[in-house]
Amino acid sequence: MIGISISLGAFAKSADKQTLVMAQQIDNLITLDPAALFETAAQEYAYNTYQRLLNPHKDNPGQFTSDIVRTWDVFDSGRSYIFRLFPKLYFASGNPLTAHDVVFSLRRAIRLNKAPAFLLTQFGFDSQNIEHRIIAVDNTTVKISLSETVAPSLFYSCLTSPVASIVDSVLLQPHLAQDHGHMWLSKNYAGSGPYKLHAWQANNSLVLVKNEQNIQASKAKLAKIIIRHIKEPSTQHLLLDKGDIDIARNLLSFNNLPADTTKVSVLRNWLKYLALNQNNSYLSKPEVILAIKHLIDYQQIADTILRDEVVVNQSFIPLKVMGSKYNDFYQYDLIKAKELLATAGFEAGFSINLVAKNLKLAQAIQSALAQADIKVNIIPGDSRQVLAKFRARDFDMLIATWASDYSDPHANTVAFATNPDNSSASTSKTLAWRTNWQQPEFNIISEEAKKELDSQKRANLYESLQKEFLQIAPIIVLFQEVETSVINNNVSGFELGTDSNATNYLHISKL
C-alpha cells in the first residue's frame, strides 16, 4: 500500500502563489446572509465579501473610511445623515450598486429582524418608519433620519457592522417572497466586496475568489482563498509544519511553533470579567468587592497562566476604543484587602461558589482569594451552562467573556454599567442586571454620552463613568483578549482586526 502511495505521487501540494490556504474553526458559520450572521468567522466572511457604507479606520478609533461613499455628512443635530456614493460601482453579478441597493439592504436587515438587527433598530427604526427614514434621494445619495440625536461616531460604528452590508437587490429579487431572501442568501452570495463566494460546505470549507468587479480587488495578490475548518490546534500545527496550510488561526496553546513561521497578534475587543452577584450577602458588601479587586494579581496572571492570551485591562471599554482609560486602576495589595475584609467583619473569611468555563483562570482566582481565607468552590461548566446560570442570576461569582458588538464605547457601557429595570421582567438583561446591580445615575450618564455630539466631551463622559464604575462596580473586568494567528514566513500582509469584521484579506500575498 505504501508502495502504491509513493507511486501515486498525487499529493503534491496544489496551493500555488495565487492561492492561500487557511485553517480556522468555522463551525460557527451557519448562514452566509450578512443580515443574519453574528458569529466571528461569519463576520470575517462578510467583511471580505460585502461592502458597507463605512469601514472602521485601522489605526484611529472613532474614525471611518469608505470604499464606496464619496462624502458623508451629518445634519439636524445628529439626526440626519447623507451619504453620497461614488458613481459606477458594481456588484460581483455585474449589476450596478446604487443608493437604492443601500436602502434596500438596510430596510431588509431591519425587516428580517435577526440577531444582529438590534445594531440598527436601537436607533428607533422599525418596519413601518423605515419607508421614510431610510430613503434614496437619487441613484447615488442615501438619506437616513434617526428618531433622536445620536453621537455620529456611534451611528457610524454600527454602519460598519456586517448587518449593514449592501446586497444586490436585483439578484435577490426572485427570492424575496417568503423570507426577504434569507434562505437563499444563507447559502448564496449577492455582494460587491473584494472577494466573492466560490463555494461553501458547512463545517468543512469556505472558498473565496477575487471579485473582478471590485475596484480594490485589482490590488489583491491572491486569486483564491481557501478556509478549511480544522478544529484541533494540533492538526493545524501539523499542517502548518508540512506546508499544507499557510495560516493557522487557532494555535494559541503551542509554545513551539513550526520552523519558518511567525506569530501575528492583535488585541481584540473581548473582555474577561468576574461578576459578583449582589444577591449574595457577602458579596454585596462594598468592602468585600473592593477587597477582591485587591486580592487579584492581574499582571502575574497575564504573565504566567494566560501568557500570550491576554493583557491586563480593568476598564469596561476595550483598549484602543474611544474613551478607554484606567486600564490598571487596581494593584495587588494583600494587606489592604485583609483590612477591608476585617472592616466588613469577615477576617475569618467565608465560603463561596464560582461558576466558570475557563478553569485556568478560575483556579487563579481561587488561590488569590484563598490568601484572605475566602474559600472558593469552582463549579465548572461549558459556555452554554455558564451563560444559562448567568442569565438566571443563579450564581455567587462567575467568570465570563464579553465581546463588544461594535467599536464604540456605548456598546460596552450599556452592557456593563446600565440596568434600567432590575426586576425579573426586564427586557434588557444586561451584565449589570444579571449581577443584580443597579446604579441609576449610570443609566442617565450613558444616555447623555450616547447623544453627545462633541467627541472630546463624549470621551470625558465615558472616562468619568469608568472611574466611578471601577470604584464601586461588582463586575471586575480583568483582562482583554489577544488573538494570535501563526503564518508561514512566505505570507505577508495578513491583517488581523480588533473586531472579526476588520480582518482583511485584501493585502495578503504569498512568495
Please choose, from the candidates 289, 397, 285, 293, the residue with its C-alpha nearest in 3D space to the C-alpha of residue 345: 285
Q: Which is nearer to other proteins, 242 or 263 (CB)?
A: 242
Q: Which of 26, 34, 35, 38 binds other proteins (CB under 8 A)?
A: 38
Segment near other proteins (CB under 8 A); pick from 225-233, 263-271, 361-369, 448-456: 225-233
Q: Which of 57, 79, 175, 429 binds other proteins (CB under 8 A)?
A: 429
Q: Which is nearer to other proteins, 201 or 423 (CB)?
A: 201
Site for other proteins in 79-138 (CB under 8 A): 115, 118
> CB burial class (10 A; 0-12, 13-18, 19+) of residue 427?
exposed
Q: Between 433 and 452, how does the x/- string for binding to other proteins read (CB under 8 A)?
A: x-------------------
Give the span between the Cα atoms of 322 and 64, in whole angstroms.
13
2 is a contact residue toward other proteins (CB under 8 A):
yes
Q: How far is CA 340 from CA 146, 295, 360, 403, 494, in A?
A: 48, 11, 27, 32, 49
Give the span between the Cα atoms of 462 and 449, in whole angstroms.
7
472 is a contact residue toward other proteins (CB under 8 A):
no
Residue 491 C-beta: closest distance to other proteins, Å:
16
Q: Would you state the cell numbers that stand for residue 38, as one nine-digit string?
A: 453574528
204 is a contact residue toward other proteins (CB under 8 A):
yes
Residue 287 C-beta: closest distance to other proteins, Å:
30
Phi, then psi, of 453 in degrees rounded to 5:
-85, -25
Give the span between the Cα atoms of 335 and 291, in whole angstroms.
10
Q: Which is nearer to other proteins, 38 or 442 (CB)?
A: 38
Number of residues that make up the chain: 511
Q: Which is nearer to other proteins, 231 or 457 (CB)?
A: 231
Site for other proteins in 143-202 (CB under 8 A): 186-187, 199, 201-202
**From its phi and psi, is residue 28 left (phi > 0), alpha (psi between -120 and 50) or beta?**
alpha
Segment near other proteins (CB under 8 A); pick from 19-27, 64-72, 345-353, 369-377: 19-27
230 is a contact residue toward other proteins (CB under 8 A):
yes
Is-contact 420 426, C-beta < 8 A?
A: yes
Q: How far is CA 139 from CA 66, 172, 176, 191, 192, in A?
A: 18, 19, 22, 18, 17
402 is a contact residue toward other proteins (CB under 8 A):
yes
Residue 67 C-beta: closest distance to other proteins, Å:
28
Please choose, from the candidates 87, 82, 115, 97, the residue with its C-alpha nearest in 3D space to the C-alpha of residue 51: 97
Is-contact 142 62, C-beta < 8 A?
A: no
3-state secondary structure at position 163: helix
Phi, then psi, of 234 in degrees rounded to 5:
-65, -35
Q: Which is nearer to other proteins, 145 or 186 (CB)?
A: 186
Segment near other proteins (CB under 8 A); pick from 56-64, 70-78, 235-243, 295-303: 235-243
Looking at the DSSP bridge assignments, the partners of residue 142 are: 83, 136
Q: Which is nearer to other proteins, 19 or 95 (CB)?
A: 19
Q: Which of 259, 335, 348, 384 binds other proteins (CB under 8 A)?
A: 384
Segment near other proteins (CB under 8 A); pick from 15-23, 363-371, 435-443, 460-468: 15-23
Largest CA distance in the chain: 79
Give the span between the Cα atoms of 358 and 448, in whole angstroms.
36
Q: How far is CA 447 from CA 230, 454, 462, in A?
A: 43, 14, 11
Residue with cell 445594531: 119
25 is a contact residue toward other proteins (CB under 8 A):
no
Q: Which is nearer to other proteins, 187 or 457 (CB)?
A: 187
Q: Would you state the cell numbers that stand for residue 344, as one nine-digit string?
A: 466588613
Residue 61 C-beta: closest distance to other proteins, Å:
23
Q: Which of 190, 362, 415, 475 binds other proteins (CB under 8 A)?
A: 415
3-state secondary structure at position 205: strand
75 is a contact residue toward other proteins (CB under 8 A):
no
Q: Which amino acid is at 242?
A: K
Q: Would you state the cell numbers that stand for residue 45, as one nine-digit string?
A: 466572511
Q: Which is nearer to other proteins, 104 or 406 (CB)?
A: 406
Segment near other proteins (CB under 8 A); pick from 25-33, 314-322, 365-373, 479-487: 25-33
Residue 11 C-beta: closest distance to other proteins, Å:
3
Residue 196 C-beta: closest distance to other proteins, Å:
15
Is-contact 246 494, C-beta < 8 A?
A: no
Binding site for other proteins (CB under 8 A): 1-2, 4-6, 8, 10-11, 14-15, 19, 21, 27, 30-31, 38-39, 115, 118, 186-187, 199, 201-205, 207, 226, 228, 230, 235, 238-239, 241-242, 244, 384, 387-388, 402-403, 414-415, 427-430, 433
